[in-house]
């Protein structure tokens, strides 16, 4: 069963000469590209993993959503090791915004791990942007998803940083989630 959040073609025209089928498929791909990103129906959030990843129910199917444009502090993968500062607070804040609520998702395709990259909305409010404004996620430092405008997120981060909100209260002790992940991977490989 395919998730409605995916924007793929499930079939091609049958019974048409190949040259027409190719033209039709090319036109369909062109118009689908214009439509993406697109708003989907409402989905119920059934799980919050951390400050930037949730699971929604889509027609009975679980779909993992990575909140596009943001990067939240990393939680620990082990009970015996601490996570990044503000990781728990970030996850709890996101849960307060979306858990067991109906959300709309504006999809920007799929990420590296097969998760849907999306902007999540609750009652018209951009949850991704709210996480950055609250100082519980930074603007994503990697290459932005196709069609995604990172500028509002960078501006919100600059404002939160200036006001020392949330994780920005750490000042010089703050470590980007991207740097944190890299150091953890390096440390794991070093000890292997």
Phi, psi of 58 (to 5 degrees): -125, 100
**CA angle at 128 for the pair 165 and 176, rounded to the nearest 5°:** 55
Query: In whole angstroms, how far apart are CA 139 and each of 106, 169, 171?
Result: 17, 16, 17
Residue 98 lies in a domain: yes
Residue 26 lies in a domain: no
Residue range(s) defining the domain that contains residue 42: 36-191
In tens digits, the chain (192 residues) has pLDDT values of 445 554 333 333 334 454 544 455 554 544 444 444 455 678 999 999 999 999 999 999 999 999 999 999 998 777 777 789 999 999 999 999 999 999 999 999 998 888 999 999 999 999 999 999 999 999 999 999 999 999 999 999 999 999 999 999 999 999 999 898 777 776 654 444
Residue 74 lies in a domain: yes
CB atoms within 10 A of CB 110: 17
- pTM given for the model: 0.76
What CATH number is attached to the domain comprising 107? 2.40.50.90
Residue 28 lies in a domain: no
Residue 18 lies in a domain: no
What is the rounded CA–CA span in Å between residue 98 and residue 94?
Answer: 6
Counting the structural domains of the chain, the total is 1
Residue 99 lies in a domain: yes
Q: Which residues are catalytic?
A: 66, 74, 115
């Amino acid at each position: 069963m395919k998730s409605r959040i995916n924007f793929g073609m499930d079939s091609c025209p049958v019974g048409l000469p190949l040259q027409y089928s190719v033209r039709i498929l090319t036109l369909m791909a062109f118009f689908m590209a214009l439509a993406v990103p697109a708003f989907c129906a409402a989905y119920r959030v059934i799980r919050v993993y951390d400050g930037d990843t949730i699971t929604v129910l889509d027609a009975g199917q679980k779909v993992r959503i990575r909140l596009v444009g943001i990067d939240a502090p990393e939680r620990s993968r082990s009970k015996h090791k601490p996570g990044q500062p503000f990781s728990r607070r970030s996850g709890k804040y996101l849960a307060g915004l979306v858990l067991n609520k109906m959300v709309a998702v504006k999809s920007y395709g799929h990420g590296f791990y097969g998760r849907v990259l999306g902007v999540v909305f609750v009652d018209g409010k951009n949850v991704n942007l709210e996480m950055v404004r609250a100082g519980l996620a930074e603007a994503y430092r990697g290459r932005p998803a196709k069609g995604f405008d990172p500028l509002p997120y960078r501006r919100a981060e600059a404002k939160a940083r200036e006001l020392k909100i949330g994780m920005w209260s750490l000042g010089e002790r703050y470590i980007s989630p991207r740097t944190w992940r890299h150091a953890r991977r390096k440390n794991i490989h070093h000890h292997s």
